[in-house]
Amino acid sequence: MKLAIMALAAMLTTCAAHAAPLETYGKVPAMRMPTISPDGSKVAFIQVVNGREAVVIDQLNPAGAIANIPPGFPTYDSLTWVDSNHLIAYGSVTLLVDLEKRKIERLLQKGELRGAVRAPMIRTRGGLTTLYAAGYTQLSQTETVPTLEAVDLATGEQHRLARARPHQSVVWDIDPDGNLISQSTYDEQSHVWTLQLRRGSDWFDAYSVKTLIDPPSVVGLTQDAKGLVLQTITEENGLEFRRVSLDDGKLGDLVPEYVGLNQLIYDPLTHRPIGGAKAGLELTYVFFDPKDQALWDGVIKAFPDEEVELASWTPDRTKVVVRVTGLKHGVSYHVVDTATHKAMGIGAAFDGITPKDISDIEIVTYPAKDGLPIQALLTLPSGREPRNLPLIVLPHNGPAEGDLVGYHAWAQALASRGYAVLQPQYRGSFGLGWKLEAAGFGEWGRKMQTDLSDGVRALAGKGYIDPKRVCIVGDGSYSSYAALAGVMFEQGVYRCAVAVDPWTDIRSLAGGFWADAKKSSKVRNWERLIGAKDQRDPVFDKISPADHAADASAPILIVSYPGPNDDPVKMANALNRAKKPAELVTVKPGKNFNPESMILQTLQATVDFVEKYNPPN
């Protein structure tokens, strides 16, 4: 049920609230990136075992494991089927799994290509199957350059197709036949973005534009394969998609079917965009082909009143892997056979999470002080009337990120302990349209912050929460900054704050970019977000928690993670010197930096702290 705050009905229930053990909510995914083979007979996925990632390949009928890459130190960005017997696992290393020969081979060792720019591209040309991988080559300790490598999967022979110049970012595009058809470059020194196209064996400049921030990008071939689709960002309209002819490079009109899409979906066979997700808090897919749309509409009908996310599908669309979140299926993956209209569960996304461990989520809308409508997710604790509830405000990270209706481990963990949890999509958030995102420019620590507390006041005004029983929790980066800013810049709103590995000295944080040899688009984006002219701008002093320890109006828990960020310890020391109630918890990495152990330590410390200063009962 998703309702505006004005129409949120009081829900009465007599059943007792169910609370799974806290460690259940602190688990890393039991399954992620499930990817179905082209013939629909197998599914590959990532599984974490003792803190390390393993690749598992299961046969679907009859069900059973048929291969796995044992846990190790690699992390994986993508799984790509070459064909139904060969799989590419791509990330910090690149592996080819041969199911016929039961062999695992490491690829892309020459040049030590690192950091995927995008998932590897598989193309077959003249009977030869080739892997095209775009990543970064390390030139020195401080400098990397984008690089495009090709590997003949039959022989393992690797050769470099292209490499960028220093201070230049590059994206290459390859057509379904394996031809390198375009390269787009952005020069950080000249601020010029250029699209180059192939004409025979030569390149020619098709389109060029000077832009300080948000350079364009090529998102793929048009449906007729005669052009490219170019994504641009304008101050007036935000995301726009235009056609570029492969013949003459001319920039064409807007591509109407792309209007309103935030992310794109690609065909596993042709590698062309075939649809995407619309802006909004609920995941809504739009497909360009009416047949694809009708097929998807049939898939989601199998899971009424639940959130359904596309994970992968076969090229002929006969098998579709979906992630389902809801009060019936919990959080789990399923294969839908579109021919028989039957669904088969293939695994839980999180071990131990059952439907009864998931609290209901509402979409609420409230006005900010300046009248801007702010949407938010409101997770309500099961078994409690939504009147005078204790509240946890849980901002998202980014700040140019956003939340979707679905399973949020921290929100569900806190709700299971009796708290209502508010996740505001404050100005500056991504996913709800350009107007909201652009409204955050220059509002870091200002209206981006008051958008959070405006949500507290709106819920209190309707009687859903007790305004005297509110804490703010940040689970990292910007979210933790917002938690500290909440008790330093807005007196009396929150009873306590939790900041996990927070940013506290914003001048120093931005200085990491200003210290580069040349100002980059990243630096200019920081300036736009913060509203700073340069590193000497006094705005940094106004919005940095490190400079406002004495203004803290509530107890603060700071969680410090192993790593180079020393802001948490410095902030805790500053609070102690200012004689403000503060606790510092240092998370122990455990064996092999086990992420699950670290998450659970953090979650347990957070719940203990908020229950101490803001008891749920």
State pTM to two decimals: 0.92
- pLDDT at position 134 is 83
Q: What is the pLDDT of residues 410-430, one digit of tens each?
A: 999 999 999 999 999 999 999
> With DSSP H G I counted as helix, E B as strand and the rest as coil, what are the percentages for the chain, rounded to 5?
20, 40, 40
- pLDDT at position 512 is 61
Residue 11 has pLDDT above 50, yes or no: no
Q: What is the pLDDT of residues 439-453, one digit of tens each?
A: 999 999 999 999 999
Q: Which range has the worst mean pLDDT, 104-113, 130-139, 349-358?
A: 104-113
- pLDDT at position 125 is 78
Residue 115 has pLDDT above 60, yes or no: no
C-alpha distance from residue 9 to each of 3, 185, 464, 518 (Å): 9, 53, 10, 55
Structural tokens at position 398: 């980014």
Nearest alpha carbon to residue 206 among 175, 169, 247, 167: 247
Q: Which CATH superfamily is domain 359-505+544-613 in?
A: Alpha/Beta hydrolase fold, catalytic domain (3.40.50.1820)
Residues 6+ apart with CB under 8 A from 139: 145, 166
Residue 263 has pLDDT above 60, yes or no: yes
The ranges assigned to domains in the chain are 27-161, 359-505+544-613
Looking at residues 583-611, what average pLDDT do you find? 90
Nearest alpha carbon to residue 38 among 264, 311, 268: 268
Residue 586 has pLDDT above 60, yes or no: yes
What CA dihedral angle connects 609, 584, 511 and 430, to 10 degrees?
A: -20
Looking at residues 306-329, what average pLDDT do you find? 95
Percent of the chain with pLDDT over 90: 63
- pLDDT at position 516 is 54
Q: What is the pLDDT of residues 505-517, one digit of tens each?
A: 998 877 665 555 4
Structural tokens at position 490: 């807005």
Residue 262 binned pLDDT confidence (cut-offs 50, 70, 90): confident
User: What angle, rounded to 10 degrees, do the helices at 447-461 and 477-488 form?
Assistant: 70
| Environment class of 378 (CB within 10 Å of its CB; exposed 0-12, middle 13-18, buried 19+) | buried
- pLDDT at position 522 is 79
State phi, psi for 448 to the nearest 5 degrees: -60, -30
Is 574 strand, coil or helix? helix
Q: How far apart are CA 402 and CA 332, in angstroms?
A: 22
CB 343 within 8 A of CB 334: yes
Q: How far apart are CA 355 and CA 348, in angstroms?
A: 11
Is 507 strand, coil or helix? helix
CB 315 within 8 A of CB 267: yes
Q: What is the pLDDT of residues 517-571, one digit of tens each?
A: 456 787 888 889 999 888 889 999 999 999 999 999 999 999 999 888 899 999 9
C-alpha distance from residue 48 to each of 54, 67, 292 (Å): 6, 15, 33
CATH match of 27-161 with 2.130.10.10: yes
- Max avg pLDDT among 40-44, 184-188, 217-221, 507-511: 40-44
CB 394 within 8 A of CB 479: yes
- pLDDT at position 517 is 41
Residue 373 CB neighbour total at 10 angstroms: 13
Residue 3 has pLDDT above 60, yes or no: no
Q: How far apart are CA 147 and CA 547, in angstroms?
A: 42
- Using a CB cutoff of 8 Å and minimum separation of 24, what contacts does 605-610 make? 605/557, 605/559, 606/410, 606/473, 606/498, 606/500, 606/557, 606/559, 607/22, 607/413, 607/414, 607/417, 609/496, 609/498, 609/555, 609/557, 609/583, 610/392, 610/414, 610/419, 610/471, 610/473, 610/496, 610/498
Q: What is the pLDDT of residues 58-69, one digit of tens each?
A: 999 888 889 888
Q: What is the pLDDT of residues 393-402, one digit of tens each?
A: 999 998 999 9
| Environment class of 311 (CB within 10 Å of its CB; exposed 0-12, middle 13-18, buried 19+) | buried
Residue 49 has pLDDT above 70, yes or no: yes
Q: Are strands 465-474 and 342-348 parallel, antiparallel or unpaired?
A: unpaired
Consecutive H or E run containing 254: strand 251-254
- pLDDT at position 451 is 98
Q: Which range has the worst mean pLDDT, 226-235, 293-302, 521-530, 535-544?
A: 521-530
Q: Which range has the worst mean pLDDT, 113-122, 240-249, 277-286, 319-328?
A: 113-122
CB 420 within 8 A of CB 383: no
Place of tokens 């929460």: 465
- pLDDT at position 142 is 67
Q: Which range has the worst mean pLDDT, 356-360, 458-462, 534-538?
A: 534-538
Looking at residues 163-179, what average pLDDT do you find? 84
Nearest alpha carbon to residue 334 among 357, 293, 306, 362: 306
Look at 92 and 461; give whichever has higher pLDDT: 461
Residue 592 binned pLDDT confidence (cut-offs 50, 70, 90): low
Nearest alpha carbon to residue 138 among 192, 79, 92: 92
What region, left, alpha or beta, does residue 126 occupy, with left being phi > 0 and alpha being psi -120 to 50 degrees? left
Looking at residues 577-599, what average pLDDT do you find? 88
Q: Which range has the worst mean pLDDT, 136-145, 153-162, 490-499?
A: 136-145
Percent of the chain with pLDDT over 70: 94
Residues 6+ apart with CB under 8 A from 135: 108, 113, 114, 115, 116, 117, 146, 147, 149
- pLDDT at position 118 is 65
- pLDDT at position 114 is 59
Residue 7 has pLDDT above 60, yes or no: no
- pLDDT at position 75 is 83
